[in-house]
Each structure stands twice: as C-alpha cells, then as structure tokens.
C-alpha cells in the first residue's frame, strides 16, 4: 500500500525511507527483534563473509555526542549460520531483510556462493560492501548478479574525497546494473588515544577505528547529491542520519532511502520511531510524499552551477524584536562586527557577511537584508 512515506529501490518496495544499517544492531535475530516494534522499513544484516570475523575488543568508542569510532569487522558468525538460521529467523519477525555480504579477496571468488546462499535463505535484497576500498566492487557485483535475481545494493566507502574519484567509481558500479548505491560506509582510518594511559582505546593493534555519526553527515549529503545529480543513480544515503530532518535533506538531495546505525547506538532504538513520527507529521502537513520531494534541492544546485559567479548576499540584518540578547552572535563573529546594546545585538560596518551569525542565532533573529 502506497503512503506518503513509501519508497522503492528497484523492485524492493519499502514502507518508509528508514532502514537500519549493517552493524551491531543487526548482528543476530535477537538484536533485530528489539528493533521491530519501531517498524524500520528494512534491516541490513551485519556483513557476512566466507569466514567468521574475530573482531578486536573493545571495538566501539563514543568519541562525542556526534561521533563514534569503531573497528568491529564483519560478522563473527558463518555464512552457514546466516543462511540456515539467521536470515530465516529474521524473516519470521516480519521485516524486510537485506543481506550484507563482502569478499575477503580481490577476486571475490566467494561472492557468487554467498549471494546464492542468502538468496535461497529468503533475503529480500543483497547489499554488497567492500572493506573500505571499492576498487574491486564492480567485479564482486557482477559475481553476485550472476547468482541472484534479487535487488542489489552496492555499499561504497569513499577513501578519496574527490568528485572525480567518486564519479569514476560510481560509473563503474552502475555499469554492473545495480539497483542502488549506498553512500556510504564509515570514514577513516582515525585514531583516539587516552591521554592518561597513552593507550589507544580501541583493540586494533594500531588503535585505529573508523568514524560514523552526525559528524560525517555533510559528506553523506554531498556525495548523495553528486551521485544523484551527475549519474542519476538511485542513492541510499547512509552516514550521520539522526533526525527526521536529515532524512528529508537526503531525499531533497536525491536519495530514495536512508540507512541509520550510529544515531541508534548513541540515542537508543526509539530514534527509529521518532524519525518515522517526525517524517509522517511533516509530510502530512505539507501534503507531499517522499517520492514527490525526491531530488527537489538538486534543481536548485543545478541552477546555481550555471551562474557566472558564486552567490554574494549581505549584509545580514537583525530583527531586534526577535533578538533575545543572548550575545552568541557577538561572541562568534570572527571580525568583532557585532556589538550588544541594552541587551540587543547590532551589526557594525566591519561586517563581512560571512553568515556565521545567521546560523548561530538560536532565536533565528538574523536574516539577510
Ligand atoms: C559499530 C559499527 C559496526 C559496523 N559494522 C558494519 C558492517 O558489518 N557492515 C557494513 O557494511 N557497515 C558496518 N558499519 C557501518 C554502518 O553500516 C554505516 O555505514 C556507518 O556507520 C555510517 O552510518 P551512521 O553514521 O548512521 O552509523 C558499522 C558501523 C558501526 C558504527
């Protein structure tokens, strides 16, 4: 049944754009069972490889309210477990199951086998990921396609933050006939060391981990827009999504759906319900569906790309009646152009219209003239 929230990836119909991403939340039928009351549109299993992982421990570190580092590796359960028990049990919970698989070799000779086993086990789609270097992903995707008729999602990592790199990789992936590109996995490697002991917190030998959570959301948005705009790819945005507003932002930039992991780890599984409720209210209020909103902001970006020069607005203007006198704008102004008088903020002549105060003001009292 179609609703304002519904979306699709190839032939995979989804009740909403909110999918739980591959990770510790989807590492077994027992962990997935906890998610079901909050009705995610689908879950992506913990990544399945030909041999079970022996992950370092500890492997997850909360770095800030907005970020995690992890070095969790793929699933510590075998493909036979997932095919015979894991996927059938998760299917019985009544959710859509996307089986995540990865090759441990460049050639990907095991990918056909993994794809066949997960297809026979009843998965609804297959997500093919890579161990942070997407160079061999196209070959792995072809091997999967030859053994499965299910919708196939290609999950990329972005080791080089350059348009040319991402577009070249995106093109090669799309040539394999995938149904969507998931952008993206975590970013890294990264390092955190405890200053009292001098020891890294995470268990990997070099102490490194990979970054996820709201801190990486701007990358997710940028690469979603790039792949949707330049390659007309079907994109699933993944990375830093934690609020319903983030889902709308991704959809406006061309995403067909989103995947979420870290926000649920940082805030609890209720996040899924909160996001779905927020989306529902927003879409009902506007009388617009996810499908209708998809890609709307891309038009604006395309128009801007035609301009001879970048945008130059300003100076900003303070609506004195809305100003609460908190002084945050004055504190953050890099050139000291904002001054306070009788508990109201005023902008002086040295203002350079950088825009920081507009986004800092909690009362939204600063706009453009
Ligand atoms: C602890 C942890 C384990 C993860 N394990 C996997 C995995 O097995 N396979 C995979 O494709 N991605 C894995 N990821 C990456 C997430 O699926 C997701 O791509 C990434 O964290 C960015 O999204 P987020 O900011 O919503 O977490 C893991 C992430 C975390 C934090």
DSSP reduced 3-state for 43: strand
**Does the pLDDT at position 92 exceed 80?**
yes
Q: How much of the chain, in percent, has pLDDT values that exceed 70?
A: 99
| CA–CA separation, 332 and 325 (whole Å) | 14
Nearest CA owner, ligand 1 atom 5: 23
Confidence (pLDDT) at 134: 96
Provide the whole-model pTM. Answer: 0.97
* 195-228 residue pLDDT tens: 999 999 999 999 999 999 999 999 999 999 999 9
Measuring CA to CA, how many Å separate 143 from each of 47, 107, 109, 146, 354? 17, 10, 8, 5, 50
DSSP reduced 3-state for 362: coil
Range 139-159 average pLDDT: 98
Confidence (pLDDT) at 369: 79
Domain shared by 297 and 320, yes or no = no
Confidence (pLDDT) at 314: 87
- Write down the residue that tokens 């945008």 correspond to: 311
* 249 within some domain: yes
* 310 within some domain: no
CATH number at residue 335: 3.30.70.20
Atom of ligand 1 nearest to the CA of 59: 1
Range 68-90 average pLDDT: 98
| CA–CA separation, 321 and 95 (whole Å) | 51
The residue among 87, 69, 70 whose CA lies nearest residue 78 is 87
**Does the pLDDT at position 1 exceed 50?**
no
Measured in whole angstroms, how far is the alpha carbon of residue 216 from the centre of its chain? 8
Range 46-71 average pLDDT: 98
**Does the pLDDT at position 300 exceed 80?**
yes
How do beta strands 180-183 and 12-14 pair?
Answer: unpaired
Atom of ligand 1 nearest to the CA of 155: 11
Q: Which residues pair with 152 in a beta bridge?
A: 126
Choosing from 133, 261, 264 the residue with most ligand 1 atoms within 8 A of its CB, the one to mutate for a pocket test is: 261
CA atoms within 13 A on the CB side of 170: 26
**Does the pLDDT at position 80 exceed 50?**
yes
Q: What are phi and psi of 228, to 5 degrees?
A: -70, -40
Q: How confident is the model at residue 58 (pLDDT cuts 50, 70, 90)?
A: very high
Domain shared by 160 and 230, yes or no = yes
Confidence (pLDDT) at 2: 61
The residue among 19, 16, 23 whose CA lies nearest residue 266 is 23
Instruction: Please tell me if the CB atom of residue 261 comes closer than 6 angstroms to any atom of ligand 1.
Output: yes
Domain shared by 260 and 338, yes or no = no
Choosing from 22, 65, 155 the residue with most ligand 1 atoms within 8 A of its CB, the one to mutate for a pocket test is: 22
| CA–CA separation, 321 and 316 (whole Å) | 15
Which of 304, 331, 352 is the C-terminal boundary of a domain?
304
* 94-117 residue pLDDT tens: 999 999 999 999 999 999 999 999
Q: How confident is the model at residue 242 (pLDDT cuts 50, 70, 90)?
A: very high
Number of domains in the chain: 2
Instruction: Supply 79's token pair.
Output: 């493909």
Whole-number Å distance, alpha carbon 269 to ligand 1 midpoint, is 15
Domain shared by 53 and 137, yes or no = yes
The residue among 213, 294, 183 whose CA lies nearest residue 249 is 294
- Domain hosting 350: range is 316-368
CA atoms within 13 A on the CB side of 259: 35
Average pLDDT, the chain: 97
**Does the pLDDT at position 17 exceed 80?**
yes
Instruction: Please tell me if the CB atom of residue 155 comes closer than 6 angstroms to any atom of ligand 1.
Output: yes
């Amino acid at each position: 049944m179609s609703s304002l929230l519904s979306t699709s990836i190839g032939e995979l119909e989804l009740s909403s754009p909110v999918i739980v991403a591959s990770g510790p939340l989807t590492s077994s039928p027992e962990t997935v069972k906890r998610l079901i009351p909050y009705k995610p549109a689908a879950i992506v299993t913990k990544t399945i490889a030909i041999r079970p992982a022996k992950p370092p421990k500890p492997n997850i570190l909360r770095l800030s309210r907005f970020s995690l580092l992890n070095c969790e590796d793929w699933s510590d359960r075998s493909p036979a477990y997932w095919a015979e028990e894991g996927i059938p049990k998760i299917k019985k919970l009544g959710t859509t199951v996307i089986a995540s698989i990865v090759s441990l070799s460049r050639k990907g000779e095991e990918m056909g086998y993994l794809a066949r086993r997960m297809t026979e086990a009843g998965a609804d789609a297959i997500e093919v990921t890579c161990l942070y270097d997407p160079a061999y992903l196209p070959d792995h995707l072809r091997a999967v396609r030859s053994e499965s008729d299910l919708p196939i999602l290609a999950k990329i990592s972005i080791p080089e933050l350059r348009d040319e790199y991402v577009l070249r990789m995106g093109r090669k992936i799309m040539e394999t006939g995938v149904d969507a590109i998931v952008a993206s996995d975590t970013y890294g490697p990264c390092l955190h060391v405890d200053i009292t002991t001098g020891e890294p917190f995470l268990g990997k030998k070099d102490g490194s981990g990979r970054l996820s959570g709201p801190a990486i959301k701007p990358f997710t948005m940028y690469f979603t827009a790039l792949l949707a705009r330049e390659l007309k790819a079907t994109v699933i945005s993944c990375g830093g999504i934690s609020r319903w507003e983030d889902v709308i932002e991704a959809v406006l930039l061309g995403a067909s759906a989103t995947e979420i992991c870290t926000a649920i780890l940082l805030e609890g599984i209720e996040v899924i319900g909160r996001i779905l409720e927020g989306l529902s209210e927003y879409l009902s209020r506007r009388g617009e569906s996810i499908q209708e909103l998809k890609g709307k902001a891309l038009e604006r970006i395309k128009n801007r790309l035609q301009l001879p020069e970048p945008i130059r607005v300003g100076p900003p203007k303070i609506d004195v009646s809305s100003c609460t006198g908190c002084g945050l704008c004055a504190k953050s102004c890099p050139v000291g152009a904002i001054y306070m008088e009788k508990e109201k903020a005023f902008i002086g002549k040295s203002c350079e219209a950088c825009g920081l105060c507009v986004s800092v003001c909690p009362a939204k009292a600063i706009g453009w003239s």
